[in-house]
Structure formats: C-alpha cells, structure tokens
Structure 1
Amino acid sequence: MTTAGAHEVLDRSCWSARAAAHEERVDRWVQPHLARRRRGEKHPVHDFLFGYYSHSPAALRRWHPGYGVTLLDAPEYADARGYAVVQTKTHHCEPGTSATRSGLSVTAAHLESLQPLLKSTLRLLEATATRPASYGCFGLHEWAMVHRADRTRHPVPLRLGPAGTDAVVESHRIACSHFDAFRFFTDSARPLNTLSPGRDDRPDFEQPGCLHAGMDLYKHAFRLSPLVPSELVADCFELAHDIRELDMRASPYDLSEHGFEAVPIETPEGKQAYVAAQRAFTERAAPLRERLTRTAGDLLSVASLPS
C-alpha cells in the first residue's frame, strides 16, 4: 500500500505481469485441489485451507494490488468488489507522462466500510505479538477433538487406536489458547483444557507460538482483500499450508498412506521435534504478522484523513 497522499498507477503490462506471477505461484496449491474436487476426492491435509477458511480457490487466484493503486486498461476489475473508475494523470511505469486516463482502484468508501474489521484485526495482531510464545501444547488440540468420540473428524485411522488416543489426552496437560481449535474439542475433553478461550476474547488468549494463530494470518490477510496486496495474502497462505502439514503430522491420525511421517508427540522425542518445528514457524510468522499489522495501521490512518 502506498503512504497517505501518494498514489501508484500501473499500466496493463505492469499489473498483468504481477497478476500472472501471483496466479502461477498459488496454482501449485490451487490446481491439485481443484483436480481432486473434480474427481470427488478429499485430501485430509491439503484441502483444509480451502474448506475451513471462507476464501475460494478463485478468490485466492485473483490478484489485487492493494489500496492506493490504480490499474489502467483493466476491464477485468470493473465489477470487482470495492473498485470504481478514477481519473489519473500520473503513470508509475512511465515517469513523466501526464495524459489523463481512466483506471480502476479500490475506493475510499470501501476502505471506510472495512474500518471495524481493520480495527478488530489490528487489535488482535498487536495483542498476539506482545504476548510471549508458549510451546507446551504439543498439538494436543487435534487429539482432544476425537477424545472418547464415536467417529473421527477425518476418514483416516488413528495411529494408536481409540483407547490409545484417549490415554494420551488424559495423561497430558492440555493448554490450548486458540478458540477456533478449542471449540471443536469433544465434550469430554473440553474440561481438561487449562484455558477457556472464547469467541469474543481472542486478544486475551492468542499467542505467537500457537500454530493456528500462525495459520490465521492467512484469514486476516484475505479478509482485508482487496485492500491488501495479494502477494501478502499468498505469503500467509504458504505459511498456513506448511503449518497445516505439521499440525496433521502431530495429530493422532495415521497419514502414512498420504506420504506424511508422524511426529509422535506422545513420546519425548516427538515432543522435541514438534517444539523445534513450532519455534521455526513462530519465527516465520513474526514478519508476516508485522506486515499485516503495519498495513492495517496504515489503512486506518488513511481512512481517518479528511476527504
């Protein structure tokens, strides 16, 4: 996003190249998902981001430059949510031109309409970043979701069987800080959690070591589209994709038929491996959280300026 008072203008050759690069990047995840969907197949690991989060493959593929950028010769964006025709006299890719041309950009009215979301997102991001990371959960949220359950959440066998899985849950201290994981705990597992995160108090519980807090950076990014650049959305998606693999490798499911080696968190060695990977993801998530925080703050600053 450009700074307040500045504006960037991209001609078709510039913005279409960025759009093509974005599509090529995300297609390595999107196209296999779409192929499975056409075949009526489901992948317990790789389809999660497309099913759990409310952002379709088509929406992920569609590139947006972010607020403060005008696209020239871009009829594809004429009906896009939040865009409108503007007149411009500057040309980012060819300095010195001054001819007035029509273009399309995200409107100030659309920015204004997303102020409540921007404020709540910024509050959550800032609260999460200031809290110390915790590395004692060992991914037990997935185990707690099948504790004493008649059926599993995925059509995949349990590595230790139902009784073995229940024993792991009952022999560990569970400290899940993420509401959107905690809400899927079974009734028998919910009282075993040492924390009680709620839907409306996420800023009081979210912490940067949580895998799901890292995955949710993707949610925060796409919910702010088209105000944020799609490159940032894709960066967050890639992080979420990689985190999801660890999340399921450390789960009670046997994913060997899908090519995933288990991280056996029920053992000391498995716990060490999980925490090492968890720390690495925390480090990867930190700059993305900072970029989202800065972008949301800049957008709110622009929205507060007099028109």
Structure 2
Amino acid sequence: MSLTRSEWREREQAHQERADSLTAAHRDRARRGEKHPVWDFLFTYYSYKPSRLRRWHPGAGIELEDAVERRAWRWYSPGTTDGGAVPDAQVFADEKPELAALVERMLRRTASRPGQFGCFGLHEWAMVYRADELRHPVPLRLGQDGTDRVVESHELRCTHFDAFRFFTPEAVPRNRRALSRDDQPLLEQPGCLHAGMDLYKWALKLGPLVPGELLLDAFEFARDIRLLDMQAAPYDLAAWGVEPVAIESVEGKAEYVRRQRAFADRGAALRWRLLDSWLGATAPVS
C-alpha cells in the first residue's frame, strides 16, 4: 500500500492538529512553570515531550510517495516508487533485536491472559504506606493513619513491577508476591491500569512502525486511565477538580472494577492494533 504525497501530507496535518489539541493544556502549564499532580505524569514518567506526539508516521510497510526527505529518518527504507520511503519493521528488528523481542513478548503475553480485577488501585496507597514523606506534594484524603489502615485491611495484589518498585519498604512484603523486572513478561495482565497506560510507551518505542493515529489513540487511552488511577489514589485532589473513587468502600470498589473492566476491553483492542500495524497478528510469541 502507498500514499500519494497529497494524501499523506493531509493525514500528517490532521495528526499534528489533534496532537496539539491533546497537549495544549500541558504546554500552557509548562510555559507558566505550573505543575499538575495528575497530568504531568504523562510527560514526566514516560519522559516523552509533546513534540514526539506531533510526528506522524504511516505505520510499517506503508509507503509514502515523493517522500525522499524521510529516507534518512530512523527505521525508514527507500520505497518502490521514485522518491518513496517506507517504515521498515525488519530494519527496526535488525537494529533493536532485544527491544523488538521484548515489545512483542509483552504485548502478546499480556493479550493472552485473563484480566485480574481485585487490586482496587491499592498500588498508589502502598507507595505512601507508613511514609515519612509523600511522593507528591498533595495531602492524603484520609490522613496518614487512615491511609495505613486501608492498606492493612486489604491484601495487596499488584502485578505490575513498575508500580511495585515504588512501594514503601513496609508495603513490599504485604504484596501477594514479590515482583521483579525479569518476571514482568510472565505476570503482566490486561486488567492492570498501568499495563494499559504502557501501551502508549510501547507505541512510542516502535516509532514509525505505528500509525500516528494509533499513537494518539494510545495516548488518549493512557490519559483516561491516569484519571481513574488518581481518583482511586489516597490523595485529596479536590483542589484540581478530581473527584475521588473511594476504594475503601464497597461502592468505590464496585465503581473501580467496573471502569477497570472497561479499560481492559479498550486495551485489548489497542494491543492487537499495535501488533497488527507492526508485524501482523499471527507471528508466534518468542
């Protein structure tokens, strides 16, 4: 498949306009030197600047006609048309074999497992359990003692290493099992909010092999999940207009699980779109 220059330039412009709209509030805050305890995460934890979101690519194997300027771009190859350029999955695999294997393993193995929905977002509570200092300059909704009691009255069931690694030392042994980086491909599961947000990370790591429209869908998905992640957290975010999901209550747990399941369904579709746009959805797990 190929796109004429007028076709791909039109898609590129639409992509840039959508990306600018998605990042406008963050860029405005950055110009003012203003921090936000919810949304900065999307640009600090993942450490990708808004400019990365603006760069549109067609996806692996889609040739851009009359795009000689892109032949020098990373993981592009000359196309079959005069001046054509195409994102090349094989070039990526040859240059980054370990990354290619990891991304495929994480996407496929996570997609193959049933979701787990009994964690209730307690990973954020475990990060401040019996803490002398808070990770964010935001007060705790139930105070320190109340927060600690919530942790102590539940079993921690976190399956995501990049959340677990921020647990306080006192919270670590309370988790159902110890987690490690090496075990992450074995334990990641689609019910986890952070596994869903990480689809944005994997999309960015694949660079031009992922269509720009899919990249922005993954960013929007991470943004939507981030809101629930912080609504269910122990912080009092009323000053930022964030209504809590009180997971310490029966009603709060039910709301959290309902929304968690909906995110798992959205994430499943995105996971397969990433695999399909990159290398088709039939290659075996390595």
* TM-score (normalised: structure 2): 0.92
Moved over 6 A (4+): none
Identify which range, 272-281 or 48-57, moves more after superposition: 48-57
The one of 3, 15, 31 equivalent to 1:10 is 3
Amino acid aligned to 1:265 = I
Structure 2 partner of 1:250: 232
Q: Please show how residues 78-227 of structure 1 align to structure 2 within 5 Å.
A: 79-86=72-79, 88=81, 101-107=82-88, 108-227=90-209
**Amino acid in the other structure paired with 1:166:** D
Counterpart of 1:49 in structure 2 is 42
Residue 35 (structure 1) aligned with residue 28 (structure 2): yes
Whether the 8 Å CA contact 2:188–2:195 is kept in 1: the answer is: yes
Q: 1:211-290 to 2 correspondence within 5 Å?
A: 211-290=193-272
Instruction: Provide the rounded CA distance (Å) in 2 between the counterparts of 1:282 and 1:24.
Output: 28
Instruction: Give distance in 2, aligned partners of 1:134 and 1:194.
Output: 13
- CA deviations on 1:214-239 (whole Å, 9 max, x unpaired) are 11111111111111212111111111
For residues 76 and 261 of structure 1, do their structure 2 counterparts lie closer, same or farther at Cα, with a shift above 3 Å needed? Answer: farther
Closer, same or farther in 2 for the Cα pair 1:71/1:274, shift >3 Å?
Answer: same
Aligned AA (1:35): D
Q: Distance in 2 between matches of 1:235 and 1:229?
A: 10
Describe the SS at the equivalent of 1:196. coil
Amino acid at match of 1:228: V
CA deviation string 1:173-196 (max 9, x = no partner): 110000000000011111110122
Q: How far apart are the structure 2 equivalents of 1:65 and 1:24?
A: 16
SS in 2 for 1:102: coil
Deviation (angstroms), 1:76: 5.6
Alignment partners' CA distance in 2, 1:76 and 1:228: 19
Give the CA deviation at 1:256: 1.0
Distance in structure 2 (CA, Å) of the matches to 1:58 and 1:133? 33
8 Å contact from structure 2 (residues 114, 189) kept in 1 = yes
Is the CA contact 1:119–1:300 (under 8 Å) kept in the aligned structure 2?
Answer: no
Deviation string for 1:4-28 (max 9, x for gaps)? xxxx322221111111111222222
Give the 3-state SS of the residue equivalent to 1:248 in structure 2: helix
Once the 2 structures are TM-superposed, how far is the Cα of residue 29 of structure 1 from its aligned partner? Answer: 2.3
Tell me which residue corresponds to 1:21. Answer: 14
Is the Cα–Cα contact under 8 Å of residues 66 and 84 in structure 2 kept in the other structure?
A: yes
Deviations 1:237-278 (A, max 9, x none): 111100000000000011111111100001111111111111
| Shift in Å, 1:39 | 0.7
What per-residue deviation string (whole Å, max 9, x for no partner) do you get for residues 76-109 of structure 1?
Answer: 6355322354451xxxxxxxxxxxx212333443
- Aligned CA distance change for structure 1 residues 300 and 286 (closer, same or farther; 3 Å): closer
Q: In the TM superposition, what is the alpha-carbon distance from 1:198 to its structure 2 partner?
A: 1.0
- For 1:164, the aligned partner's letter is G
Counterparts in 2 of 1:144 and 1:68: CA distance versus 1, 3 Å: same
Whether contact under 8 Å (1:64, 1:226) holds in the other structure is yes
Aligned twin of 1:305: none
**Length, aligned pairs only:** 282
The CA distance in 1 between the partners of 2:243 and 2:112, in whole Å, is: 34
AA at the equivalent of 1:105 = V
The CA deviation at 1:122 is 1.6
User: Structure 2: any 5+ residue segments left out of the alignment?
Assistant: none
> Considering only aligned residues, what root-mean-square deviation do their CA atoms show, in Å?
1.9
**Gap change, CA 1:60 and 1:197, over 3 Å in 2:** same
Larger radius of gyration: 1
Give secondary structure in 1 for the equivalent of 2:63.
Answer: strand
**SS where residue 109 of structure 1 aligns?**
helix
Structure 1 pair 300–37 and aligned structure 2 pair: CA distance change class (3 A): farther
SS of alignment partner, residue 83 of structure 2: strand
Q: TM-score, normalised by structure 1?
A: 0.86
Please list the CA deviations of residues 281-303 of structure 1 after superposition, one character each: whole Å capped at 9, or x if unmatched.
Answer: 111111111222334443996xx
Name structure 1 gaps, 5 residues minimum.
1-7, 89-100, 302-307
